């Protein structure tokens, strides 16, 4: 009986070991099934070729998006004949920002993709320039745009893997709140510890008001509690919140941080220098520039001069810099006034996804136009980037930025 029992235990152990091996392989297989940047339909494709592809989808007379088909009719053009390059997008004129608030989401999505609504992930803006705007991404687009794009650059930059994350920022309808978990997991980490922040409520409060101070204190107190009880090595937050948090963290706690990712609002070069050299000197620092509607331009290389250079994951997203010599208001003629490399102007963004098409969006920022470096091109990114984006002078009163 004893021998039989031993034999049974041995077999059970062997079976359990085999099962664990199969499960491990299954997990690995699942991980490898996640789309990589190189798997993206647009990766390595020229921007003009991709523009033609997107126009053929959104302006298809039977399966296209209702919004763009109506816009084509209103403009009296044949988009599939008239638009064959990035430069031709000016024919459509500036994107009407209010239309993204006014029309139902389905108006912007090609009819052919609306047949499977379960394949979409929605995101809403924080309301920096007014009422929130809504957009959608196909699940694979979402993964490539917000998860794989970060992992691709983070791996190149030597960002820590397997470390525990702390996210201090919005969840709910905001796209970054939906992406932060998969982003951390793509780096071999657990789902991050998170502190929920409502940026729309923060924007309603005056920065010097008691309500604002109490709300921010509430956010920071929760973050500090996690830092004191958990072994956090990566922090993802906005520069204003991170600065306040760093001021409250003891030196030993700051020294154990090995990775910092910035989001939400643009960071100034001098501020980044303080974070890198003084507050978190043991961390790899990666900044992002973008928003819910378009996705992220990533800081691919750390600038020796201290600049912040961002590049889009082209060609699904393109950034241009246009002259502000005549004015700063959206205008069709200004779309053709792209500045020379090294010159400053207003940022114009283009989203070229099969699910959602947003061309010619005049952003509230100004930046310097830069060309992709050899290292950036070696990663498969060949489009222009922007350097040191900041709020466009004269538009400060129209944008409620604050901590997000």
pLDDT tens-digit series, residues 180-206:
999 999 999 999 999 988 878 887 888
Q: Residue 151: inside a domain, yes or no?
A: yes
Residue 3 has pLDDT above 50, yes or no: no
How much is the average pLDDT of 82-91? 97
Does residue 210 belong to any structural domain of this protein?
A: yes
How large is the average pLDDT for residues 296-302? 93
Place 79 in a pLDDT band, splitting at 50, 70 and 90: very high
Establish if 74 belongs to a structural domain: no
pTM of the predicted model as reported, rounded to 2 decimal places: 0.88
pLDDT at 400 over 70: no
pLDDT-based confidence at 395, cuts 50/70/90?
Answer: low
In a domain, 338, yes or no: yes
Asked if residue 123 belongs to a domain, the reply is no
Does the pLDDT of residue 90 top 50, yes or no? Answer: yes
Count up the domains in the chain and report the number: 1
pLDDT category of residue 20 using cuts at 50, 70 and 90: very low
CATH code, 350: 3.40.50.12780
Cα dihedral 284, 289, 295, 300, rounded to 10, equals: -40
Beta pairing partners, 290: 296
- On the question of pLDDT at 286 being above 60, the answer is yes
The pLDDT tens digits for 201-245 are 887 888 889 988 898 999 999 999 999 999 999 999 989 899 999
Position 5 in a domain: no
pLDDT at 396 over 80: no
The string of pLDDT tens digits covering residues 303-361 is 888 899 999 998 999 999 999 998 889 999 999 999 999 999 999 999 999 999 999 99
Answer yes or no: is 24 within a domain: no
Low-confidence winner among 146-155, 236-245, 252-261, 266-275 (lowest mean pLDDT)? 266-275
| pLDDT over 50 at 9, yes or no | no
Instruction: Kindly report the average pLDDT of the chain as a whole number.
Output: 88
CA–CA distances in Å: residue 16 to residues 8, 30, 159, 214, 258: 12, 21, 35, 53, 37
pLDDT band at 7; cut points 50, 70, 90: very low
Reply yes or no on whether the pLDDT at 161 is more than 50: yes
Domain residue limits at 173: 139-398
Confidence tier at 24 by pLDDT (50, 70, 90) = low
In a domain, 217, yes or no: yes
């Amino acid at each position: 009986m004893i021998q039989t029992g031993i034999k049974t235990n041995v077999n059970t152990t062997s079976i359990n070991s085999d099962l664990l091996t199969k499960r491990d392989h299954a997990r690995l297989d699942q991980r490898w099934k996640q789309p990589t940047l190189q798997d993206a339909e647009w990766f390595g494709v020229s921007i003009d070729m991709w523009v033609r592809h997107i126009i053929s989808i959104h302006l298809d007379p039977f399966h296209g998006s209702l919004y763009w088909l109506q816009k084509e009719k209103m403009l009296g053009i044949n988009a599939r004949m008239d638009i064959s390059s990035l430069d031709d997008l000016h024919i459509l004129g500036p994107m009407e920002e209010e239309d993204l608030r006014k029309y139902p989401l389905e108006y912007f999505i090609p009819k052919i993709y609306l047949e499977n609504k379960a394949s979409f992930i929605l995101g809403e803006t924080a309301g920096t320039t007014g009422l929130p705007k809504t957009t959608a991404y196909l699940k694979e687009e979402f993964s490539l745009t917000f998860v794989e794009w970060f992992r691709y650059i983070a791996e190149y930059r030597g960002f820590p893997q397997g470390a525990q994350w702390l996210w201090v920022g919005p969840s709910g309808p905001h796209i970054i709140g939906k992406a932060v978990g998969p982003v951390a997991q793509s780096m071999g980490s657990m789902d991050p510890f998170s502190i929920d922040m409502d940026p729309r409520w923060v924007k309603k409060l005056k920065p010097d008001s008691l309500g604002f101070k109490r709300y921010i204190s509430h956010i920071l107190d929760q973050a500090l509690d996690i830092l004191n009880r958990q072994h956090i090595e990566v922090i993802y937050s906005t520069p204003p919140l991170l600065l306040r948090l760093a001021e409250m963290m003891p030196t030993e706690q700051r020294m154990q941080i090995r990775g910092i990712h910035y989001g939400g609002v643009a960071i100034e070069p001098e501020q980044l220098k303080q974070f890198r050299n003084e507050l978190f000197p043991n961390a790899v620092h990666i900044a992002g520039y973008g928003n819910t509607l378009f996705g992220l331009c990533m800081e691919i290389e750390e600038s020796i001069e201290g600049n912040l250079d961002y590049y889009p994951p082209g060609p699904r997203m393109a950034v241009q810099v246009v002259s502000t010599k005549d004015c700063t208001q959206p205008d069709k003629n200004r779309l053709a006034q792209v500045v020379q490399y090294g010159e400053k102007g207003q940022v114009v963004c283009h989203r070229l996804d099969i699910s959602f098409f947003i061309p010619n969006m005049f952003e509230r920022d100004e930046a310097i136009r830069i060309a992709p470096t050899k290292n950036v091109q070696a990663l498969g990114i060949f489009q222009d980037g922007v350097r040191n984006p900041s709020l466009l002078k004269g538009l400060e009163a129209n944008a409620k930025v604050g901590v997000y």
